[in-house]
Amino acid sequence: MAASFRFSKVLNTLLQPNFGVYVAGNATSLIGTWMHRIASGWLVWEMTGSAAWLGVIAFADLFPAVLIAPFAGVAADRWERLPVMKLAQVLGALISGLLALLFFTGNLTIWGLLGITVLLGSVDAFVQPFRLALVSALVAREDLTSAVALKSITFNLARFVGPAVAGVVIVTAGVGWAFVINAFSFLALLAALQFVRVLQPQVRQKSREASVLRDALEGARYAMGAPGVGLVLLLLAATCFTGRPVVELLPGWAGEIFAGTASDLAALTSAIGIGAVIGGLWLAGRPSTRGLVKAFLACCFGLVASVTAFALASSTIVALPLMVVAGFFLVSSAICAQTMVQLNVADEMRGRVLSLYAIILRGGPAVGALLMGFVAESVGLRAPQIIGMLLLFLATLAMLSRRREMEAALEGGES
C-alpha cells in the first residue's frame, strides 16, 4: 500500500551520519528544554496560582518569534546556518545558567522569571528558521518527509522523557536542578554541531542590497502566493491558536481542574509526547507524500474531538489517554504542514518562508494561551478551550472545500 509504514525508510534516514549526529545532540538538548518548561511552569503555579500568569509566561516564551522570526528568516537566507546555530547554544547555556543562579541564591522573582523567559524565547525564535532550514541540507530530497517526521519524533520523545525526568528531579531535588540540567543540555547540541556537514551547499540569497524588512515582506508575499502554501499556513495557524494553548496552560489544568501535583503535570505532558511520537513514526514511515493533504485535514478534525473531550474530563486518569490522542493529532498536523511547505518553496526563499512557519508555531500558542489564560480567570479553563475547538472545527470545514487546490500544489512541488 502506498501509505503503508516502512520501518526501513525511517532507519535508513536516521543512520545517515550527518542527520544521526544532529538528532542525537538535538534530543539531549530538547530533554533539557522540556525539563525547564515543566519546572518553570510548576514554579509559576506555586508562586502565583494564576492561570493568567501561566498565559503571560507562555506568551513571553513564544511570542518573541512573531517579532524576531521574519528578520531571522532573512538572516537564514543570507548567513551560513551552522555558525549561527552554534552561537545560539552558547547563549542558551549562559541564560539558563543565570536562571539557576538566581533561583539558588533566592533572588528569583516572578518578574525575573518573566525576563529570563523572554531572553530564552528570543534566542530560540531567532535560531528557529536556521534550524528548520538546516534539516533539508542534511538529507536527500526523497528522505525529507522522514527527516521532518524524525525531527518531530525527537522533539516529542523529549516531551515524554523530559517531563518524566523533571517530575523526579523536582520531587527529589527541587526545580533549581532542572534549570541546571537544561543549561548543560545546550552544550550537547553544540558538540554535535561540530561534527555536522551539510550534504547540499546552501543557496544564498542573490541580492544583499535590499533592506531586511523588504526581504522579510518578500518572503511573506512569496509564501502567501505559492500554490497551496498559504492555505496550509492558515489552517496551521488555526490549530496553533486554538489547540496548542491547552499544552501551555497544563499547569493550571493539573493543579486546579484535576487537583493534582507536579507529578500529574509531568504525566499529562508525557502523555502528549507519547501520542506525538506515535504520530511522528506514522508519518516518518510513509513511502511518499501522497495523501498528506487528506492526513492534514483529518488530523485537524481529530484534534477538535480529542481536545474537546479533554476539556470535559473530570480527572487526570480520564485526561491522560485523551492527551495521548491529542498529542498524536497536534504533532501530526504540524509535520504534514511543514513537509508540504518544505516541498513547495525554492531554497533561496526557504529561511524566510519557514520563519513564517515558526511564527505560526510559536506565535499562535502565545496569543491563544494569553487570551485563554485571562478569560480563564473569570470563567475557568474549560469554556475558552471548548470555544477554541469550535472555531477550529469551522476553519477546517472551510479548508476542506479547497482540498483539491492544496493537493494539486503538492503534486507540483514533488515534480
For residue range 60-78, list pLDDT tens digits in order. Answer: 888 887 788 777 777 877 7
Each residue's pLDDT tens digit, 266-299: 889 888 888 887 887 777 666 555 678 888 999 9
Q: What is the CATH topology of the domain spanning 7-195+220-414?
A: Growth Hormone; Chain: A; (1.20.1250)
In SS3 terms, 81-121 reads as HHHHHHHHHHHHHHHHHHHHHHHHCCCCCHHHHHHHHHHHH
H/E segment holding residue 133: helix 110-138
Give the pLDDT band (50/70/90) at residue 390: very high
- Output Rg (C-alpha) for the chain, integer angstroms: 20
Each residue's pLDDT tens digit, 220-246: 777 676 667 778 888 999 999 999 888
Query: CA dihedral in degrees (62, 68, 70, 72; nearest 10)?
Result: -110
Q: Where are the alpha helices (DSSP H) in 287-381?
A: 292-311, 316-343, 347-379
Question: What distance in Å separates the CA atoms of residue 184 and residue 116, rounded to the nearest whole number?
Answer: 17
At 115, the amino acid letter reads G
Total-model pTM: 0.69
pLDDT of residue 88: 93
